[in-house]
């Protein structure tokens, strides 16, 4: 079983309401992901569903032009992605 130990904490007095909202959403989704992994769901399946849902949401709320820009931005930043600090439990 894979456990994720990364959680962001941007608790800063100077954070905007939007930043606090982003932190809240990030941590809520992270908790769902952690729960699914603790239930021993395939990490690749969890990642595929999250990515698919994100892409669908982008496609829903962005114009076609902005959607293409978002996809290009994701691809451009692929080498900047850091893995979660993970540990396997058996």
In sequence order, the 6+-apart residues with CB closer than 8 A to the CB of 58 are 67, 70, 71
- Judged against a pLDDT cut of 90, whether residue 82 lies above it is answered with no
- Record the pTM: 0.74
> What average pLDDT does range 14-19 have in this prediction?
78
How many structural domains compose the chain? 1
Nearest to 38 by CA among 5, 2, 7, 6: 2
- CA dihedral angle for residue 13, residue 17, residue 23, residue 24, rounded to 10 degrees: 120
Range of the domain at 67: 2-88
> What are the tens digits of pLDDT across the range 30-51?
999 999 999 999 999 999 999 9
């Amino acid at each position: 079983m894979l456990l994720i130990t990364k959680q962001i904490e941007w608790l800063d007095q100077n954070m905007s309401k939007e930043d606090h909202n982003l932190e809240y959403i990030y941590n809520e989704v992270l908790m769902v992901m952690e729960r699914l992994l603790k239930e021993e769901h395939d990490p690749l399946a969890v990642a595929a569903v999250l990515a698919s849902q994100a892409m669908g949401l982008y496609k829903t709320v962005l114009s076609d032009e902005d959607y293409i820009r978002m996809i290009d931005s994701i691809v451009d930043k692929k080498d900047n992605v850091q893995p979660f600090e993970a540990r396997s439990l058996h």
